[in-house]
């Protein structure tokens, strides 16, 4: 209850800022984050679009919009957003994995590994292992072992991305199991 009231108060503040500064792209981005807390996905996406119209330079940095597209099941746009993100954040393995997850909703499983863009030098060992799993190089157990060795954050990422992977494979039972384990971390 407190969280909702706090979010509602934040939303009122964002709305006031936008009324006073309708051309402030960052104000729309701040409101996006509040909308997300309130589970207002479509409103979040609309504010991302407004911010982008006000300042096109933001486009490659709107990776969060890609996550919102997933919730809204707008898969082609989500894949495109993460492809654009990788032009400015080429070392981020999560971006290419998310692009893979979007593409899994649009393509056959046999084509998917072609959608993993090459990413080098991401310093996060767990994300390198997740990437290698999605690439078909590493096994499930390899990733779980790395996740375990990395502690809570490693466990969170390994379970989260297994859940998303199994969702992409339409194995909703395993997807739910791993997402729940990620939430417990």
Q: Which domain holds residue 134?
A: 124-185
Q: Considering the domain boundaries, does residue 179 fall inside one?
A: yes
User: What is the number of domains present in the chain?
Assistant: 1
What is the pTM (predicted TM-score) of this model? 0.71
Say what the pLDDT of residue 2 is: 46
- Chain centre distance of CA 175: 16
Distance CA 157, CA 39 (A): 22
Say what the pLDDT of residue 109 is: 60
Asked if residue 96 has pLDDT above 50, the reply is yes
Pull the structure tokens for residue 37. Answer: 């807390």
Distance CA 83, CA 86 (A): 5
Q: Considering the domain boundaries, does residue 115 fall inside one?
A: no
Q: Considering the domain boundaries, does residue 135 fall inside one?
A: yes
pLDDT tens track for 110-154: 677 777 777 778 889 999 999 899 888 899 999 999 999 999 999
Q: Considering the domain boundaries, does residue 156 fall inside one?
A: yes
Say what the pLDDT of residue 108 is: 67
Pull the structure tokens for residue 178. Answer: 């791993």
Say what the pLDDT of residue 93 is: 85
Q: Considering the domain boundaries, does residue 19 fall inside one?
A: no
Mean pLDDT of all residues in 92-110: 82
Q: Considering the domain boundaries, does residue 10 fall inside one?
A: no
CA angle at 173 for the pair 169 and 178, rounded to the nearest 5°: 85
Q: Considering the domain boundaries, does residue 167 fall inside one?
A: yes
Q: Considering the domain boundaries, does residue 7 fall inside one?
A: no
């Amino acid at each position: 209850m407190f969280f909702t009231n706090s979010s509602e108060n934040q939303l009122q503040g964002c709305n006031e800022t936008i009324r006073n500064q309708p051309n402030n792209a960052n104000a729309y981005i701040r409101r996006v984050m509040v909308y997300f807390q309130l589970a207002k996905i479509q409103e979040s996406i609309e504010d991302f679009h407004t911010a982008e119209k006000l300042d096109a330079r933001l486009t490659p940095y709107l990776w969060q919009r890609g996550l919102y597209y997933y919730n809204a099941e707008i898969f082609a746009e989500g894949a495109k957003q993460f492809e654009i993100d990788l032009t400015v954040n080429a070392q981020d393995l999560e971006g290419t994995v998310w692009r893979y997850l979007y593409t899994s909703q649009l393509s056959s499983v046999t084509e998917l590994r072609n959608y993993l863009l090459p990413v080098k030098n991401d310093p996060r060992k767990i994300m390198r292992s997740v990437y290698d799993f999605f690439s078909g190089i590493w096994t499930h157990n390899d990733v779980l072992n790395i996740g375990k060795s990395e502690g809570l954050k490693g466990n969170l990422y390994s379970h989260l991305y297994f859940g998303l992977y199994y969702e992409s494979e339409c194995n909703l039972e395993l997807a739910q199991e791993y997402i729940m384990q990620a939430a417990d971390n």
